[in-house]
Chains A and B, each alone.
Chain A
Amino acid sequence: ETGVTQSPTHLIKTRGQQVTLRCSSQSGHNTVSWYQQALGQGPQFIFQYYREEENGRGNFPPRFSGLQFPNYSSELNVNALELDDSALYLCASRSGGAFHGYTFGSGTRLTVV
């Protein structure tokens, strides 16, 4: 399978709930990053996983957490959802030695009400 796939495509949650977003990396890519993109803004880095270990984190609180699995798929978990968490969440993967950019998925549109 080629490309990065994310699920679900859309999600509506209530403030205070928890959410799990899923990502299947492009074949051969062992590094995955998650980004948050608010409406009209560029993507903001949440964290990165390499071989199942978090090896970089942006300015996001601990209620944003993640996992990467042995098959390099990954999850983003957000606890205690806030209205400002409403955004497009993007998963991006690359091979460990490739510095020239990520392959992005189409994202999950999360709306918190």
Chain B
Amino acid sequence: QKEVEQDPGPLSVPEGAIVSLNCTYSNSAFQYFMWYRQYSRKGPELLMYTYSSGNKEDGRFTAQVDKSSKYISLFIRDSQPSDSATYLCAMRGIYGQNFVFGPGTRLSVLP
């Protein structure tokens, strides 16, 4: 079992849809949770950052962390074609030097 699993996709939705992206993990020491967006031929770009459990909202994006279930989610409201990209979840413990990434979910938002 991989340390971080992610819904593999690919996922295609119509413009304006609500998108739900999810990751599960096995390491209970993880405390910092991030979502990155990666466009083709580009490096990952940080979208959302959450510490421990809870929700965080930023514009059309909402990140949720449920540490009891070892499950994190990213919701995108009113999705736009410009949201078409690969979405990577990443996480680390308090003392870890590196982030552990999920394999990514490719999202296509169709006009």
Decide: A42 near B101, CB < 8 A? Known: A106-B42, A107-B43.
yes
The reply to whether B104 and A106 contact each other, CB–CB distance below 8 Å, is no
State the total of A-B contacts with C-beta under 8 angstroms: 61
Q: Which of A58-113 contact B (CB under 8 A)?
A: 58, 90, 92, 99-107, 109
Does B76 interact with chain A (Cβ within 8 Å)? no
Partner of B32, one of A43, A55, A99, A103: A99
The reply to whether B103 and A40 contact each other, CB–CB distance below 8 Å, is yes
Q: Which of B62-89 contact A (CB under 8 A)?
A: 88
Does A2 interact with chain B (Cβ within 8 Å)? no
Does A30 interact with chain B (Cβ within 8 Å)? no
Interface of chain B, helix or strand or loop or mixed?
strand
Q: Which of B19-56 contact A (CB under 8 A)?
A: 32, 34, 36, 41-46, 49, 51
Partner of B43, one of A45, A58, A105: A105
Which 7 A-B residue pairings sit nearest by Cβ, starting from the closest?
A56-B97, A42-B101, A104-B43, A45-B98, A100-B49, A101-B46, A42-B103
Interface CB pairs A-B, < 8 A, 24:
A4-B43, A33-B97, A41-B103, A41-B104, A42-B6, A42-B102, A42-B103, A42-B104, A43-B44, A43-B101, A45-B100, A48-B97, A56-B98, A90-B44, A92-B43, A100-B34, A100-B49, A101-B34, A101-B36, A101-B49, A101-B90, A104-B45, A107-B42, A107-B43
